[in-house]
Amino acid sequence: MSTASRVTLDGIRRAQRAIDPAFLDSPQLESAPLNDALGARVVLKVETLNPVRSFKGRGADWFVASLVAEAAARGAPPPRVVCASAGNFGQGIADAARRRGARATVYAAHTANTLKIARMRALGAEVRLAGDDFDAAKDAARAAAAEEGVPFVEDGRELAVTEGAGTMGLELARWPAPLDVALVPLGNGALLAGVGHALRALSPGTRLVAVCAAGAPSMARSLREGRVVRTERAATIADGIAVRVPVPEALDDLRGAVDEVVLVDDDAIREAMRLVHRHVGLVVEPAGVVGVAAALAHPALVRGALAATPLCGGNLTPEQMRDWL
């Protein structure tokens, strides 16, 4: 790990000016019934009401827009890009590529969410299944991109993806009362690095808490130890943050953007999903609701505070909705 983050407020603001408005200015609200259930005030940032039902569209759109602009400056056609995804990032890349005249190939694990796979294909991506988990699919994607001579985009490594995610922090900073704490899901790291640095600049009194799934603790361990810590497996229902192999660049970008790291288990995640569904009327997937799970599992984090957390994605299969909601 190096000593500095690449993420700047100016970079995040450039992303905000370029991203498709369909992904920007998502709703921010408090739910009195949910607050009562949590025993705390929590501002929810709803990132499920956009073309890919996930915040991933922000960073993916800024990345693809930048790539297409670079190609045009060289007089080249829009490129084909390769990525790996548990499903939401791939949808974002597929959507951005389709709208901007590029092509996308997405690698996903054989165990990936079937709804997300279907949506990536519907958005025009070529989807190739490889490996038993996200990191195995990523290895296959990286190798294929190198062999085929096309760009490989890695969530957490590409600065544009992080800057795009950071636009959520610009919006949260506009909340009329000062935010005491932000509970932010931590998977590959782009979301927390972007939002964290935006809030550091615009709301320096906000405490930044990273939330990992207990069954996928590699990023939590890496942050605590200051080095890349891999795990043999990632066993959690929160597929969107089920990381075994951290991205070194993401760990660098997280410097200065995290005050504390907490873990939540799958039981807390399921309860958070049910509470948000019951009291807010939203379907949110496991990785997207871990901030609410943290408020449940670690009540001291939010006691007497004004907290905020993004609801990051809402892509569940009918079977998952039946079983978890």
Question: What is the per-residue pLDDT across 65-84, written as a single tens digit (0 to 9) for each?
Answer: 999 999 999 999 999 999 99
What pTM, to 2 d.p., does this model score? 0.95
CA angle 81, 83, 89 (to 5 degrees): 110
Exposed e or buried b per residue across 247-265, where buried means at least 16 C-beta atoms within 10 angstroms of its C-beta: bebbbbbbbebbeebbbbe
pLDDT tens, position by position, 124-147: 999 999 999 999 999 999 999 999
Strand order in the sheet with 152-153: 126-129, 103-108, 80-84, 152-153
Query: Is the backbone of residue 243 left (phi > 0), alpha (psi -120 to 50) or beta?
Result: beta
pLDDT at 2: 53
pLDDT at 4: 81
pLDDT tens, position by position, 252-304: 999 999 999 999 999 999 999 999 999 999 999 999 999 999 999 999 999 99
Element (H, E) at 71: helix 56-73
In this predicted structure, the answer to whether residue 1 has a pLDDT above a threshold of 70 is no
Give the strand pairing for 28-30 and 41-46: antiparallel
Domains of the chain (ranges, CATH numbers): 9-54+159-324 (3.40.50.1100), 56-153 (3.40.50.1100)
In this predicted structure, the answer to whether residue 106 has a pLDDT above a threshold of 90 is yes
pLDDT tens, position by position, 197-243: 999 999 999 999 999 999 999 999 999 999 999 999 999 999 999 99
